[in-house]
Structures are given as C-alpha cells and as structure tokens.
Amino acid sequence: MNELRKSFLVSLWFMFLTFPIMVIRVNTVEKIVVWRWENMAMIGIGSFVLSFVWRWAIRRKEASDAVAASGQKKTGRMAELAENPSLTNSLKALFLVGFLVTPWLVTTYQTNILISFLLYVVLGLGLNVIVGVAGLLFLGHAAFYAIGAYSYALLNQYFGLGFWFALPLGGVFAALAGIALAFPVLRLRGDYLAIVTLGFGEIVRLLLENLSDITGGPSGISNIPRPGFFDIKLSVADANIYIYYIVLALAIITIIAVSRLKDSRIGRALQALREDEVACEAMGIDRVGVKVMAFGLGTAWAGFAGVIFAAKTTFINPASFTFFESAIILSIVVLGGMGSNLGVILGSAFLVLLPEYLRAFSEYRMIMFATAMVLMMVFRPQGLIPAKGRTYTVDDPDLVTADGGANK
C-alpha cells in the first residue's frame, strides 16, 4: 500500500513537472495553443510503473553493493563466456569472415552504415585508452577526429597529397595535437581536465569555422578524392567497398593494438595511475610521460578515423565535429564498459546499427542514449561488459592460506 502511494506521488510529481513542456505547444506568431493531454496521461502511467522498477533496481543495487563489500567475488555470465578461449576464438573467426563477405552481399547504403559503425569502433577504442584505461575524462575527442579529417582535406587541396600519404600523417598530427594538449592539462584534477578538453575541442572547431581563408569556414571543403586503387578509377560503389576494407583493416589493427597496449608496460602503468597517483610515483612510474603517451596513443586513432571519414564522405565541414560528436563517442565507451574493448564494439553497434535498423527508434536515439548514460552510472558504472584486469592464480599449496586467498 505504501509502495503504491509512493508511486502515485511520483507519477503526480512527474505529471506536474512535464506539464508545460509536454502538454502545451504554443505558436506565438499565429496565436495557436495546442493542448496535448494524451502526453500527460502517458507520463503519469509511465512514471507510475517506472518508479516501481526504479525502487526495485535501487534495492537490488544496494544488496549487491553489500555483497561486494563482504568480499565475495561474483563473476557475470558474460564475463565467464568471454574467458573461454575456444569459444571466443571461433567467434572471432566467424565475425571476421562475416565482415569480410558482407559488402558483396549488401547494398552500398548498408556498406555505408557498416563503415560508420567501424569508424565509431576505432574512435571509441581510441577514446577508451584515455577514458577507460587511464581514467582521464576526455570530452574533446571530436577535435582530433576533425584534425585527421582536415589534415587529409587540406594536404590534398594545397599539396595534392594522396590518401595513403595522408592516412599516417593524419594520425601523426592528431597524436601530436594530443601530446601538445597533454602537457599543460596533466596537472589538473579529473573534472577540470574534462572541461579543459571540452574547451579545447570547441576552440578547434571554432577555429576551423573562422579561418575561412584556409579551411573554407562553415561551408567546409568539398571534392575530397576517394582513395585510389593502383591508379584504377573505381566506381562509387566499388570505392565504397574499398573504403570498407580499409576501415575494417584499421579497426582490426586498432583492436589488436589497443588490447596489446592494455597489458603492456605503459598500459599497466596507466591503470595503476588511474588507481593511485602518489603510490605510482613512489614506485618510479613517470607520471607525466605515461599520461602524455596515453593522450597520443588515444588521439592517433581519431586522426586515422578522421582521414577515412573525409575520404568516405568527400566533403567535410566543422559541423561534423561538435561537442555532440564527442559526447556520442564518450557514451559508446561508457555504455560498453570503460576499459573494455569488447564493450566498446558492442556500444558502437548499439549506437550506430540499432537506430539504423529500427527506424521507429531512430528519432529517440539520442534521448535513449542520454538516459542510458545516466542509468549506467547509477546502476552499472562498469558498463555492459566490464573491463577485466589481468588475474594471476597461485597454485603452490604452500603459498595459499586456508581461506583460499594468496599469502603475500
């Protein structure tokens, strides 16, 4: 009874809260007011039901927090499956073959969607190095994407450089910009760092918009050539498939590089720094050097992706690289699970593929992802597929104490 009353009050509150925005639509020019009472009924019923779910979820979370606090370790089903090597290897092979043959089976339009999916995978994995592994909240990823895209467009326009020359250069420029940004901002605390990177991203975008003599201003640069294939002129559809394979290769390289990075010396240093900076410095980890490297390694991927993006669309303008873009990439990382590469791939699949194939859903895409971002933080901060640290098991019975924990 008490629960019912609580939910009733919640639904009343939300009906009140959403009243002017959801119900009234006013046209001040033609002086027409539209009252949409059906929305209010929907909000009322929806919030009534959701408040039950919300309280149940909160209780469940508190219970699981209590379990975690008592020291019991719990592994999810997903995590267990992900640990089985024969299963994961065959799955990987299956996916690879699937991705290799798809462009020949589907339309150009579908290939385009897959290209943008793979671009987001690359962007997400790059950001994951900074946000997930190093734990630095970074809100300016789109700026480095822009640096990559504009490097290709401008180098091509002014120096006639081809795609294959621009691809590594785009990555290098983005990495250099990342490193240049890293030095001054590294002493900042987490939340300040986030705002500074956001400011940096906006400055880059505004500069691109205002330096019209060089960058074409808000109207951008058009007629960027698609990558050439040994001097053979490809048709648009074929060029698209060609680009698809380039992105696929880049995505695979990124996946391999990033997952190797995580367990490397730098990767472990980054994860350690995320946990405790002072202890790390005491252990002799070069705090500045390692973090600068994280910035460079993360932003370089955005640069590569940017070059491919420019080649794919053949037209770029600053409007493609707003804060919104950075927020989308961030939400991919957050949804998937910070620090988990599989999670990032899944996150970009959700963000790019689902709205594309569920048309009814696409209008609500951003609001659902925004909601998911909040809910994820509240209920599952580790993401869909939590990152797994390296684990070591001790077999020597002399080193294992009675309660199963390792002794020293």
Partner 1 sequence: MDWQYFMELFLGGLTRGSIYALIAIGYTMVYGIIELINFAHGEVYMLGAFVGLIIAGVLGIMGFPAPAILVLAAIVAIIYCASYGYTMEKVAYKPLRGAGRLSPLISAIGMSLFLQNYIILAQTSDFLPFPRLIPDFAFIEPIAHVFGSSDFVIVATSAFFMAGLTLFIKYTKMGKAMRATAQNRKMAMLLGVDSDRVISITFIIGSSLAALGGVLIASHVGMVNFAIGFLAGIKAFTAAVLGGIGSIPGAMLGGLFLGLSESFATGYISSDYEDVFAFTLLVVFLIFRPSGIMGKAKVEKV
- Which residues sit at the interface with partner 1, rule CB under 8 A? 13, 16-18, 20-22, 24-29, 31, 33, 39, 58, 61, 135, 137, 139, 184-185, 188-192, 194-196, 198-200, 202-203, 206-207, 210, 323, 327, 330-331, 334, 363-364, 366-367, 369-374, 377-378, 381
Taking the least distance from each CB to partner 1, the nearer of 93 and 195 is 195
In angstroms, give the least distance from the CB of 152 to partner 1: 24
In angstroms, give the least distance from the CB of 163 to partner 1: 31
Copy the structure tokens of residue 288. 């500045």
11 vs 17, 52, 209, CA distance in Å?
Answer: 10, 11, 45
CA distance 186 to 209: 28
Helix (H) or strand (E) holding 27: strand 24-27
The residue among 349, 348, 287, 282 whose CA lies nearest residue 127 is: 348
CB neighbours of 9 closer than 8 A, spacing ≥ 6? Answer: none
Taking the least distance from each CB to partner 1, the nearer of 24 and 93 is 24
In angstroms, give the least distance from the CB of 350 to partner 1: 15
Taking the least distance from each CB to partner 1, the nearer of 78 and 196 is 196
Taking the least distance from each CB to partner 1, the nearer of 257 and 368 is 368
In angstroms, give the least distance from the CB of 295 to partner 1: 15
In angstroms, give the least distance from the CB of 352 to partner 1: 17
In angstroms, give the least distance from the CB of 328 to partner 1: 9
Taking the least distance from each CB to partner 1, the nearer of 224 and 329 is 329
CA distance 178 to 367: 30
Taking the least distance from each CB to partner 1, the nearer of 46 and 162 is 46
Taking the least distance from each CB to partner 1, the nearer of 91 and 203 is 203
The backbone torsions φ and ψ at residue 56, rounded to the nearest 5 degrees and listed phi first, read -60, -45
In angstroms, give the least distance from the CB of 49 to partner 1: 16
DSSP letters spanning 139-187: --HHHHHHHHHHHHHHHHHHH---HHHHHHHHHHHHHHHHHHHHHHHTT
Contact 277, 287 (CB under 8 A): yes
Give the Cα-Cα-Cα angle 394, 396, 402 (nearest 5 degrees). Answer: 80
